Structure 1
Amino acid sequence: MSRISVEMRLSVTSVFTVVLLVAAQQDVCVKGELLFEEDFNVFNLSVWQHELTMSGGGNWEFQLYDNNRANSYVRDGILYIKPTLLSDAIGEANVQNGYTMNMWGGTPADLCTGNHFYGCLRTSGAGGNVLNPIRSARIRTVKSFSFKYGRVEVKAKLPKGDWLWPAIWMLPTYNQYGGWPSSGEIDIMESRGNNASYPAGGVDAFGSTLHWGPYALENGYAKTTVQKKLDSGDFSQDFHIYGLIWNETYIGTYLDDPSNVTLSVPITESFWDRGGYAGKNYDNPWAAGGRNAPFDQEFYFVINLAVGGTNGYFPDNQGGKPWSNLSPHSVNEFWNDKSSWYSTWNGEEAALKVDSVRVWDLSISTTMSTTKSTSDALSVEVSFMHFCCAALVFLLGACFY
């Protein structure tokens, strides 16, 4: 059989031939250049910036984020993000009433990072509510590292404890297409610390999601989200790899190995068309972008451990949840039930633990050959970026490495 150049425009038949060969070889979609590597031998705060805010992630979550070694620290090559009680730092009476928590800061390293939802200054008892009763940490690489396209692997062990909400995710560096969710969000992993009996999925499950849409109320995430459960045990027992493959034609996540696909989103149409927005009299925020917009821009990492909230991630009337998402005093309802949930937070078992974060460029330069039973030789040269990964995912549903 004559030599086939894959550097020309391929027909569907030749694409499928290449994919079959790649599937047999199982070593074509290779990791390219290592773009980012973090092993947490030290806690490098020039790489990982702490967010400092009481804003509750825009979801009226019950934690505040701070920079202190009670909540974020490194030991033996592992990053710990651990929730603690605010009352341990300022006393129960100050959490309840009359204490002004001022997080505005006065030096570049301690400036408040989010004033929305009264995030930089709150007084306990104002509005009838206690201060955010939990301290935790949220760190990001917005000032040190961002990238567009690649393969990500984060090795982590998830926290166990009621109403804990760990997340490993990515946000756009420049909001090229406007405010959230117009410029996108990539959630590699988010989970709940509740036990496996929790109806919405506990620590035995995690989800991966893409957020996108012209407005917050038109978030199309429901079309690009999936939850994966372990067959036995839970994610607090061992470290697992939470992976992402992201290029122009595919966005997907996996657990431990690329063949164990979690979320799979082939970019076969624009997100404007995917969301069915054309008939809704909206302006298309991605009109000037590529087919994969808003996921055609640089993103940065966020790693955090939240607690509770009122956006519905913890649904009402499930699993003994002590607060209502519709209550103006949800934080009080949570705090008043402390005797129930705090007993499930057992020291560092309640901490999100991260062993490593790595990012590779995706590139391939491989020659494959096989022989038919009729002794006809078929040789295919592959020497361009991303093609096999995208083709495999699109036609076979996974990217083999």
Structure 2
Amino acid sequence: MLKFLPSSTLLLLGYLHYSHAQCTTPSITVASGTHAPTGTICPGDLIFEDNFDELDLKKWNHEQTLGGGGNWEFEWYTNSRYNSYVDGGILYIKPTLLADENGEEFLSSGTLDINGGSPADEYGKVEVRAKLPSGDWLWPAIWFLPRYNQYSSWPISGEIDLMESRGNRNYVNGSGVNIGTQLVSSTLHWGPAWNINKYMLTHAERLNPEGYDANWHNYQMTWTDNEINFSIDDEPLATFAPPSGGFWEWGDLDTSGYDNPWKRNTKMAPFDQEFYIILNLACGGTSYFPDDATNPGGKPWQNPSGTASTDFWKGRDQWLPTWQLETDNAAFKIDYVRIWAL
């Protein structure tokens, strides 16, 4: 029997309603849905804020799935207060082991995002203050998906990864770089087909020898109708600004064998539509943890294996002690989420 780890994903359900001052030039930010701000949106308006004084399920939705997120991850996303809860103004997304009625253990975690894509926004400034987890093969992420998939399925309609990291404290690649808790990345995913993803043209990384699990950090994005900027703690990480021919030109996709799905739209397409935010803590999978990096105790599975999840579970004596579940070290902690209009 395959074993799964419970987890949680949180999806943003709704914007708070704010009153807006009159402004001569309205914001370029678009926000729609039943919980979106009413009236004119002005530049600089705070259009969403959650300080997690409570887990408000009018704002957030739990995705419940064993689907593996397209990466054959090993967690089971649940709506469970074992996996996602608020304590002292902090949102915790924590992996746990749960037993079913037969005593079989499953790995669960959490993922939260907006309810049905409502509300979602196009263009704006985002800041999420978070402390990353430590524990082998944990995969925290703050990311965005399109509300309507206006240009077709992934990655044609795009994906924005504000922050991704790995929970391994001593996971080192062939160049001697720690690609675990010491490294975070921001990425745009885009391309004309699932197997033509030009994300490496819009991918940036930052190393922190202290580890991003050691302290709180602010993960920031400014998304305009000309470019997308990523920063950490107000220090710029990367600016991705497509040329006049858009991402099609940037990716040199004329020879891809596909027609340009964005040619009737702005140069920012597919990043010229409404996206919604996702907070999640995944585990393992067959894409994000390279086989050729070294880790104390080894890696229990190989990515090409047809029994990767079973091999992972059988190797729990390697990874489970690193989670230190008697503490909150393995929890992905979020202090606040804030979104402003431009």
When normalised by structure 2's length, the TM-score is: 0.82
Alignment partners' CA distance in 2, 1:242 and 1:287: 32
User: Aligned AA for 2:240?
Assistant: V
Q: Per-residue deviation at 1:85?
A: 1.4
Partner of 1:299: 275
Partner of 1:357: 337
Q: Per-residue deviation at 1:90?
A: 4.5
**Do the aligned partners of 1:162 and 1:194 also contact (CA within 8 Å) in 2?**
yes
Partner of 2:11: none
1:323–1:90 distance in 2 versus 1, CA, 3 Å? farther
Match of 1:208 among 160, 166, 186: 186
Alignment partners' CA distance in 2, 1:55 and 1:197: 26
Q: Per-residue deviation at 1:268?
A: 2.4
Partner of 1:273: 249
Partner of 2:50: 38
Partner of 1:141: 114
1:90–1:155 distance in 2 versus 1, CA, 3 Å? farther
Q: Per-residue deviation at 1:203?
A: 0.7
**Secondary structure of the structure 2 residue equivalent to 1:216:** coil
Alignment partners' CA distance in 2, 1:161 and 1:195: 7
Match of 1:252 among 220, 229, 233: 229
**Secondary structure of the structure 2 residue equivalent to 1:253:** strand
User: Aligned AA for 2:301?
Assistant: W
1:235–1:91 distance in 2 versus 1, CA, 3 Å? farther
Q: Per-residue deviation at 1:317?
A: 3.5
Partner of 1:316: 291
Residue 289, structure 1, aligned to residue 265, structure 2: yes
Partner of 1:386: none
| CA deviation profile, 1:280-332 (whole Å, cap 9, x unmatched) | 22111112210010000000000000000012x10014222110111111111
Alignment partners' CA distance in 2, 1:142 and 1:268: 34
1:62–1:90 distance in 2 versus 1, CA, 3 Å? farther
Q: Per-residue deviation at 1:53?
A: 0.5
Q: Which of structures 1 and 2 has the bigger CA Rg?
A: 1
Choose between structure 1 and 2: higher helix proportion.
1
Alignment partners' CA distance in 1, 2:101 and 2:135: 23
Partner of 2:33: none
User: Aligned AA for 2:217?
Assistant: H
**Do the aligned partners of 1:244 and 1:253 also contact (CA within 8 Å) in 2?**
yes
**Do the aligned partners of 1:240 and 1:256 also contact (CA within 8 Å) in 2?**
yes
**Do the aligned partners of 2:223 and 2:229 also contact (CA within 8 Å) in 1?**
yes
5 Å matches for 1:329-344?
Answer: 329-344=307-322
Unmatched segments (≥5 aa) in structure 2: 1-41
* Runs of 4+ residues over 6 Å off in structure 1: none
Partner of 1:369: none
Alignment partners' CA distance in 1, 2:56 and 2:113: 12
User: Aligned AA for 1:167?
Assistant: A
Aligned residues between the structures: 291
5 Å matches for 1:201-240?
Answer: 201-230=179-208, 232-240=209-217
Alignment partners' CA distance in 1, 2:171 and 2:185: 16
Alignment partners' CA distance in 1, 2:143 and 2:219: 10
1:261–1:31 distance in 2 versus 1, CA, 3 Å? farther
Alignment partners' CA distance in 1, 2:70 and 2:109: 15
Q: Per-residue deviation at 1:353?
A: 0.2
**Do the aligned partners of 2:243 and 2:250 also contact (CA within 8 Å) in 1?**
no
Alignment partners' CA distance in 1, 2:102 and 2:317: 17
CA RMSD of aligned residues (A): 1.7
Alignment partners' CA distance in 1, 2:157 and 2:284: 25
Alignment partners' CA distance in 2, 1:304 and 1:326: 24
Alignment partners' CA distance in 2, 1:41 and 1:76: 7
Alignment partners' CA distance in 1, 2:196 and 2:172: 28
Q: Per-residue deviation at 1:91?
A: 5.2
Residue 151, structure 1, aligned to residue 128, structure 2: no
**Secondary structure of the structure 2 residue equivalent to 1:86:** strand
1:145–1:161 distance in 2 versus 1, CA, 3 Å? same
The range that moved more, 42-51 or 138-147, is 138-147
Alignment partners' CA distance in 1, 2:43 and 2:281: 29
**Secondary structure of the structure 2 residue equivalent to 1:335:** helix
Q: Percent identity?
A: 47
Alignment partners' CA distance in 2, 1:90 and 1:203: 35
**Secondary structure of the structure 2 residue equivalent to 1:306:** strand
Unmatched segments (≥5 aa) in structure 1: 1-29, 96-132, 363-401
Alignment partners' CA distance in 1, 2:153 and 2:303: 24
When normalised by structure 1's length, the TM-score is: 0.70
**Secondary structure of the structure 1 residue equivalent to 2:45:** strand
Alignment partners' CA distance in 1, 2:68 and 2:115: 19
Partner of 2:35: none
Q: Per-residue deviation at 1:204?
A: 1.2
1:191–1:91 distance in 2 versus 1, CA, 3 Å? farther
